[in-house]
Structure 1
Amino acid sequence: MTQKTAAPLSGMIYRLEDRPPNGPAILAAIQHILASIVGIVTPALIIGGVLGLGEHIPYLVAMSLFVSGVATFIQCRRFGPVGSGLLSVQGTSFAFVGAILAAGFAVKGRGGTPEDILTMIFGLCLVGCLVEIGLSQFVGRLRRIITPTVTGIVITIIGLSLVKVGFTDFAGGATAGEALGEPVNLLLGFIVVAAILVLTFQPNPTVRISAIMAGLVIGFVVAALLGKVDFSSAGSGPLIALPIPFRYGIDFDLALFLPIAFIYLITAIETTGDLTANSIIAGEPVRGDLYMSRIKGGILADGVNSGLAAIFNTFPNTTFSQNNGVIQMTGVASRHVGMIIAVILIVLGFFPVIGNAFLLVPKPVLGGATLVLFGTIAVAGIRILASETIDRRKAYIMAVSFGVGLGVTLVPDATQHLPDFIRQVFATPITLSGLSAIILSLVIPEGDDAVAEPSTAESPVQPA
C-alpha cells in the first residue's frame, strides 16, 4: 500500500527522527510543558475539590504529572505495537471528569469516605481501559459508528455539563455557604477570565500558550492582596511522593461503569484526530500501513496508559491536541523532545508540593479558569458538529440527543422511579446523549431527504 505523506507545514525545523541540540530541545520541551501542565493537573484539582477529597489532592496531582510523563514516554518512544512514535504529549483527560464526578457522587451518596470514592473511581477506570485497548484494533469500524455527529454531541454535552461545576467555583465553591456569590468572589472570577482572554489574543505565541497559567497567577496575586488566600496549609505534607500501585485499592459497579466505558470509546476517536493532525503538521504519512500502525499504536497506548494511571492512583490519560499547536509554533516535531518532556514530568511527579501550591488557589480563581476551559470543551464539540453540513437527519439527531441530555441535567428527578441500575445509567447526561446519538444514527436512514440541504420550515435548522 502506498503511503501518502503530508507536506510539512512551513517553518518545520526538526522532523520526527531528527535530534535537536540540547538547547533547542529543552526550550521546546518547556513550551510543551507550559501548554499542558494546567490540563494535566486541573482534572485532579476539580475532581478532588468537588468530591471533597481534601488531603488526597496533592498526591493525586503529583501522580497525574508522574503518569503523564510515563505515558508520554511510551507514546513517543513506542514499545512494540504500543505507542504512536510521534511527538505526542499525554495528559489527564478532561473528557472523563463528568463521568468520574457522577460515580464519585454516587459513592458519596451511599455514605462512602474519600478513600471509598477513590477506590471505586480507580477500579472503574482500570476496567474501562480494556475497552480502549480492544477498540484500538478496530479503528476503521469504530469510525463508522462513532461519527463526527456523535462525537460532537458527546463533547458538547461534556462541556455544558461541567459548566455548572466551573461556575459554582467561580461564585465561591460548593462549600461557600452564605458566601456563595459574594461580590469579591465574582470579582476574582471575572479578573481571571479577563486576564485569560487578554493574553489569549496577544501576538506572542508563548504568551498565548501560557494564558491559563498566567490567568491563575494574576488571580492568585489579586486574591492574596485582598486577603482571600489561606496560607496556613503552605508547606504542609510530605516533600516527596513515591508512586504506590493500588494505594487505594479498586472496586467496581456496572451501572457506574457504563458512562466511563462510553467516554473511553469517544477518546479513541479523539486520539485518532489528534494523531492525524500531528502527522499532517510533521509531514508524516496520513494514509497507508505506517499511518494506520501509528493510529492503532497511539490508541493502544492511550488504553495502556490509562490503565497505568488507575494503577498509580490518578485519572485516565489521552493525547493532548494543544501540543500539536506547539509543534507548529516551534517548528520542532522530533519525538526525542517528547522523551525530554516525559522525564521532566516524571521528576515533577515526585513533588506533591506542586499539588499543595494549587490547593492555595481560591475557588473563584480556579473557577474563572475552569469556566473558560469547560466552555472551550463545549465549543470544540460545536465545531465538530459545524464541520459537516447539518441536514435534517443530523438536526433531529442533535435535537433529541441534546434534549434528553440537558433534560436529565435540569430535571434529575425525572428518573427517580426507574429501577436503580437504569436510573444510574440514564442519570448521566453523557451516556444518555451519546447512546441516543448512536442509536438514532443507526436507525434513521440516510435517504434523499437526509442528504439535501434543509430549506423548509419543518426543519429546526435553516440555512444561513
Structure 2
Amino acid sequence: MSDINYGDPNATPPMGQAIPLGLQHVLAMFASNVTPSIIVAGAAGLAFGGAEQVYLIQMAMLFAGVATLFQTVGMGPIGARLPIMQGTSFAFVGVLAGVAATQGLSVALTACLIAGIIHFALGSVIQKLRFMFPPLVTGLVILAIGLYLIPVAIKYAAGGAADFQMAAESFGSLKHWTVALTVVVVSLACKFLTKGLISNAAVLIGLIAGYCVAILAGMVSFGGVTKAAWFQVPTVMPYGFEFSLGAVIGVTLVSVVSAIETVGDASATTKAGAGRDATDDEIAGATYADGLGTAVAAVFGGLPNTSFSQNVGIVGMTGIMSRHVVTIAGIFLIVCGLIPKIGAVISSMPLPVLGGGVIVMFGMVAAAGMNMLTEVKMSRRNMIIISVSLAVGLGLNLVPSAVQYLPGIWKTLATSAVAPTALLAVVLNLMLPQDD
C-alpha cells in the first residue's frame, strides 16, 4: 500500500479500501442527486409516490452513474479521467420546473436533449468562453438558484407544494414541522459533531431520521414499494419528442453556466488531489462528458447532470485522487437505478422529510454562490451588476404577473429567476466599463 501514489488519478487502491471510499462518494451526493427529479415531477403534476415519479428518481440514479463513468473511464476525448462525481443538477430546476408545469415533460426533456448536445460541443471551445463567466457571474447565478429554491424547501417542509396541498388544513402543522426539523437538526449534528463517512453523509442520515419519525407518525405508505418491480430497464423517450425554441434557449443558457462550474470542479479536483492545475485535455474531456451525460439521460427521461462539488471536498479531505474509487461509486448508482424498489422507497418519503433535507441543501447552494462572490472586489461596477441582475431575476419570479403579456415559454423563462439573472449578469459584465 505504501507504494501507491494516491495523488495519481490512475492509482488503484485495494478493493477493501476502494469500496468504502466509493460508497462515501455516493452517500455524500445521494440526496442532492434525486431531489431535482422529485421537484420537477411535482411541477409537472405527477402523482407524489406514483410510478412516473419513481421512474424519474430511477433515471436520476442510473444516469448519474453512467455520466460518472463517462468522466472516470472515458472514451477517446470524452471524460477528464479524474475522480469527478456526476449527479442531477440543481441549476436546471428553476427553468425545467417552469417548462414542465406549463408545457409538460416532453418539452422539458426534449430541451435537455438538445442542450446536452450543445453542451457537448462546448468541450472544444470551453477555454475560450471562460472569460464570459468569471466568479462574479457564476457566483451570482448559483446564488440566484439557491434563493429561488428556498421557498420550495419551506413549502415542502410545511407539507406541500401544489395549491391543493397548501390549502389543506394540515399545511404548516406542528407534525409536519417536527418531521422537517428532525431532518435539519440531525443533519447539522452529523455534519459538525462527527467526522469522515458520517459527516459526509450528514443530509442522507438526517433524511433517514426524519423518515423514521414520519413512519412513527403514520405519514408513510409503503403501497408503492410493494407494487414496484425488482428490476426495470429504462424506456427510450418515455414522454416523446416536442420541440420549443424558448425552452431550448433557457436550458442551454443554464448548460453553459453548468459547463463553467464543471471546469471549476475539474480544476479544484486536481488542486486538491495532486496540487496541480487541470490540463486543457482534462477540462475539455470533463465538458464533453458533462454534455454527453445530459443528452443520454434525456433520451431515457433523466434530467441534466453536472459535476458535484461536495465530492471534490472528499478528494481534498482523503487525499485519494484515484478515479477508480469514483468508478465504483458510479457502478453502485447504476445498480440502484435499475431497481425500482429503491426509487419507490425514496418516493414514499413524505414531503416534510424532503423539505427538511432541502432546507439544508438549498441553503448550501445559496451559500456556495455567496462564497464565490467573496472572490469579487465589491466595486461600484460589480455591485451594480449584482444588484440589477438579482433584482430583476428574483423580482420577476416573485411578481410573475409583471410579464403576463409575454408569450408562454418566454414568460416561463422570464420568471424562472435563474435565466434572467444569468443573462443580465453576462451582458452587464461584458458591456459595463471596468472601474478606474
| Structures share fold, TM-score greater than 0.5 | yes
Match of 1:112 in 2: none
CA deviation profile, 1:230-288 (whole Å, cap 9, x unmatched): 2333311222111222222221211222221111010011001100011112216416x
Q: Does 1:137 align with 2:144?
A: no
Is the 8 Å Cα contact of residues 119 and 256 (structure 2) preserved in structure 1? Answer: yes
Match of 2:39 in 1: 46
CA deviation profile, 1:369-424 (whole Å, cap 9, x unmatched): 01111111111111111112111100000010111012101211001134556434
Match of 2:265 in 1: 274
SS of structure 1 residue aligned to 2:306: strand
Structure 2 CA distance for aligned equivalents of residues 360 and 416 of structure 1:
36
More displaced stretch, 75-84 vs 321-330: 321-330
Given candidates 86, 97, 122, the residue that maps to 1:101 is: 97
- Please list every run of 5 or more consecutive structure 1 residues that lacks an aligned counterpart in the other structure: 1-10, 108-116, 449-464
> How far does residue 51 in structure 1 lie from its aligned partner after superposition?
2.9
Structure 2 CA distance for aligned equivalents of residues 14 and 447 of structure 1:
41
Structure 2 CA distance for aligned equivalents of residues 223 and 203 of structure 1:
24
- Matching of residues 28-427 of structure 1 within 5 Å: 28-54=21-47, 55-107=51-103, 117-174=104-161, 175-176=164-165, 177-283=168-274, 285-286=276-277, 291-420=279-408, 422-427=410-415
Is the 8 Å Cα contact of residues 79 and 289 (structure 2) preserved in structure 1? Answer: yes
RMSD: 1.7
> How far does residue 62 in structure 1 lie from its aligned partner after superposition?
1.4
Structure 1 CA distance for aligned equivalents of residues 24 and 306 of structure 2:
19
Distance 1:248 1:355, change over 3 A: same
Aligned residues: 426
Is the 8 Å Cα contact of residues 404 and 432 (structure 1) preserved in structure 2? Answer: yes
Is the 8 Å Cα contact of residues 119 and 249 (structure 1) preserved in structure 2? Answer: yes
Is the 8 Å Cα contact of residues 140 and 422 (structure 2) preserved in structure 1? Answer: yes
SS of structure 2 residue aligned to 1:286: coil
Is the 8 Å Cα contact of residues 193 and 369 (structure 1) preserved in structure 2? Answer: yes
Distance 1:347 1:123, change over 3 A: same
Is the 8 Å Cα contact of residues 272 and 319 (structure 2) preserved in structure 1? Answer: no
CA deviation profile, 1:111-142 (whole Å, cap 9, x unmatched): xxxxxx22222101001112212222222321
Structure 2 CA distance for aligned equivalents of residues 43 and 34 of structure 1:
16
Distance 1:159 1:178, change over 3 A: same
Structure 2 CA distance for aligned equivalents of residues 16 and 286 of structure 1:
13
Give 1:302's aligned amino acid: D
Give 2:306's aligned amino acid: T
Structure 1 CA distance for aligned equivalents of residues 108 and 405 of structure 2:
26
Is the 8 Å Cα contact of residues 112 and 294 (structure 2) preserved in structure 1? Answer: yes
> How far does residue 330 in structure 1 lie from its aligned partner after superposition?
2.9
SS of structure 2 residue aligned to 1:318: strand
Give 2:411's aligned amino acid: R
SS of structure 1 residue aligned to 2:277: strand
Structure 2 CA distance for aligned equivalents of residues 418 and 247 of structure 1:
30
More displaced stretch, 117-126 vs 239-248: 239-248
Q: Percent identity over the alignment?
A: 36
> How far does residue 219 in structure 1 lie from its aligned partner after superposition?
0.7
> How far does residue 447 in structure 1 lie from its aligned partner after superposition?
3.2
Structure 2 CA distance for aligned equivalents of residues 202 and 51 of structure 1:
39
Is the 8 Å Cα contact of residues 426 and 432 (structure 1) preserved in structure 2? Answer: yes
SS of structure 1 residue aligned to 2:87: strand
TM-score by structure 2 length?
0.94
TM-score by structure 1 length?
0.88
Structure 1 CA distance for aligned equivalents of residues 421 and 374 of structure 2:
18
Q: Does 1:445 align with 2:436?
A: no
Q: Does 1:17 align with 2:10?
A: yes
> How far does residue 49 in structure 1 lie from its aligned partner after superposition?
2.9
Structure 2 CA distance for aligned equivalents of residues 211 and 34 of structure 1:
9
Distance 1:65 1:422, change over 3 A: closer
More displaced stretch, 259-268 vs 137-146: 137-146
SS of structure 2 residue aligned to 1:235: helix
CA deviation profile, 1:30-87 (whole Å, cap 9, x unmatched): 1111112222222112222343323211111112211122111111112111000111
Give 1:97's aligned amino acid: V
- Please list every run of 5 or more consecutive structure 2 residues that lacks an aligned counterpart in the other structure: none
More displaced stretch, 42-51 vs 144-153: 42-51
Structure 2 CA distance for aligned equivalents of residues 233 and 211 of structure 1:
27
CA deviation profile, 1:201-240 (whole Å, cap 9, x unmatched): 0241211111111111111111111222223333112221
SS of structure 2 residue aligned to 1:91: strand
Distance 1:65 1:421, change over 3 A: closer
Is the 8 Å Cα contact of residues 158 and 378 (structure 1) preserved in structure 2? Answer: yes
